Structure 1
Amino acid sequence: MTAKPNVTIEEADVAADPGQGSLAQYVYNQLRQEIRSGQLGSNERLREADIAQRLAVSRTPVREALKRLEAEGMVRFAPPRGYVVVQLSPKQVMELYAMRKVLVGAAARFAAEHASAIEIQSMQQMLVQLERAKAPDEVAALNRRLHDIIIAAAHNEYLFKTSNVLIDALALLGTTTYSMPGRIKSGLKENREIVACIARHDADAAERTAQAHVAAATELRLKMMFGDKSGLGVI
């Protein structure tokens, strides 16, 4: 079913109440959200007993949740430590950003074609919040919310599902590119251009500006990973 207007990916993924679903689903949602938020960082050990005690469940649903997260690439089994949060290799980071460029561009294109007036207004309101934000983590969170709205406005079920996979992977990167000097200002300018293109229903320009937004983030991520010898501009 196509995503409803004004429902973000984050809202769609709110952790389930144990009384409304299986305990394994509850544990899975809790751990997934903790990884997304950075509460659980890359290479951090996930002890079954500790998680079970913290979430007041037995170890069986914890084990099931960890296996599901492993299948989705968010955690891995690393003997003798047990499960740990995945730390992406440089190759995986580049593959992730390459896919992100395609997906974000497609989302902006489809949003330009299908977004309602209310959805466009929601994007514009998010820009106002971005203009007021100063801290890198706050800006990064608002940027994600803006692009969640764009993805929902694309009204494409498969793009919506695929975006969740990429968002989970992006959470494994840790420090946001908005911590780099000048990125908050340049990122805001790029997002304004994307929303402006969507608002005037210019699909070609929306896709182009969205891809440029990701390309700029890719350059900064490379610089964060490798310094000035990163070969900036390579996607």
Structure 2
Amino acid sequence: MPSDKPAQKDAYEMILEAIDVGIYKPGDRLVESELADRFGVSRTPVREALQRLETQSLLARDGRSLIVASLDHNQLAELYVVRSELEGLAARLAARHAAVEEVQVLQNMIDADRKLVEDPAALARANRRFHRQIHLASHNRYLVQQLDLVYRSMALMATTSLAAEGRGAAALNEHQVIVDAIRGHKEQEAYDALKAHISSAFVQRLTQDSAANTSP
């Protein structure tokens, strides 16, 4: 006989989402009791979730406390190398396999996102949805799983490159080039366009980090 009890909330997913949307940022301390109160769960699943997140290097030890981890320069560079190759492959496969309806959804996203260029936080969320749609359009579940792991680590970036002056509009123009290649079933062009897009984002992020580290 099926139970009428609601499914147990997944503390791991809730904490991960809170990091992803910026409720908890790199360097923020995570307290077991506070998390349990915030998410309305017992401390046991929170403790297990924190242990899991620490194992995945999304949390780090600061004395006896757990804090949201941050990425150093080398980790950031390594992450972008992997992201570039995997996302390029996703675009290539999307150009081969995407249904007409999937391409239309991507186009609709670009059209809607142009209204968000003055709101970097909202545009960053829309950007993740756009890239996720390309991942799904690749029709390769194993690639999608690996990209999910990459994007999980990207949640450790404290700022978005889309906040830079002019970057939002430029990124959307780059998205259009990617979608045009996917629509035309031009696999190599889609691959190259996606990799160029990631490269531009990486350059912008390095520029932001350099300015932040040299400011008085």
Q: TM-score, normalised by structure 2?
A: 0.92
> Residues 49, 213 of structure 1: CA spacing in aligned structure 2 closer, same or farther, 3 A cutoff?
same
**What are structure 1's unaligned runs of at least 5 residues?**
1-17, 231-235
Q: Which residue of 1 aligns with 2:31?
A: 47
Q: Which residue of 2 aligns with 1:170?
A: 154
Q: Distance in 1 between matches of 2:171 and 2:39?
A: 38
Match of 2:185 among 194, 201, 208: 201
In structure 2, the residue corresponding to 1:163 is in which secondary structure? helix
Q: Distance in 2 between matches of 1:68 and 1:20?
A: 20
Match of 1:110 among 93, 107, 116: 93
Letter in structure 1 aligned against 2:86:
L
In structure 2, the residue corresponding to 1:20 is in which secondary structure? coil
Q: Distance in 2 between matches of 1:55 and 1:181?
A: 36
* Percent of aligned pairs with the same amino acid: 34
Q: Distance in 1 between matches of 2:186 and 2:108?
A: 20
Q: How does 1:116-195 map to 2 (within 5 A)?
A: 116-134=99-117, 135-195=119-179
> Residues 221, 126 of structure 1: CA spacing in aligned structure 2 closer, same or farther, 3 A cutoff?
same
Q: Distance in 2 between matches of 1:194 and 1:153?
A: 13
Letter in structure 2 aligned against 1:90:
H
1:188-209 alpha-carbon deviations (Å, 9 max, x no partner): 1100000000001100000000
1:57-90 alpha-carbon deviations (Å, 9 max, x no partner): 222111101111112221123222x211111111
Letter in structure 1 aligned against 2:27:
N
Q: Distance in 2 between matches of 1:129 and 1:51?
A: 35
1:20 aligns with 2:7: yes
Deviation at 1:229, TM superposition (A): 10
Q: Distance in 2 between matches of 1:137 and 1:228?
A: 19
Match of 2:196 among 209, 212, 226: 212
| RMSD of aligned residue pairs (Cα, Å) | 1.8
In structure 2, the residue corresponding to 1:83 is in which secondary structure? strand
Q: Distance in 1 between matches of 2:36 and 2:124?
A: 31
Q: Distance in 1 between matches of 2:30 and 2:153?
A: 17
How many residues align? The count is 209
1:156-181 alpha-carbon deviations (Å, 9 max, x no partner): 11111111111111111121101111
Q: Distance in 2 between matches of 1:224 and 1:159?
A: 30
> Residues 42, 228 of structure 1: CA spacing in aligned structure 2 closer, same or farther, 3 A cutoff?
closer
Q: Distance in 1 between matches of 2:36 and 2:212?
A: 44
Structure 1 segments (4+ residues) deviating >6 Å: none
Match of 2:18 among 26, 34, 42: 34
Letter in structure 1 aligned against 2:6:
G
Q: Which residue of 1 aligns with 2:42?
A: 58
Q: Distance in 1 between matches of 2:54 and 2:40?
A: 22
In structure 2, the residue corresponding to 1:19 is in which secondary structure? coil
> Does the CA-based 8 Å contact 1:129-1:142 persist in structure 2?
no
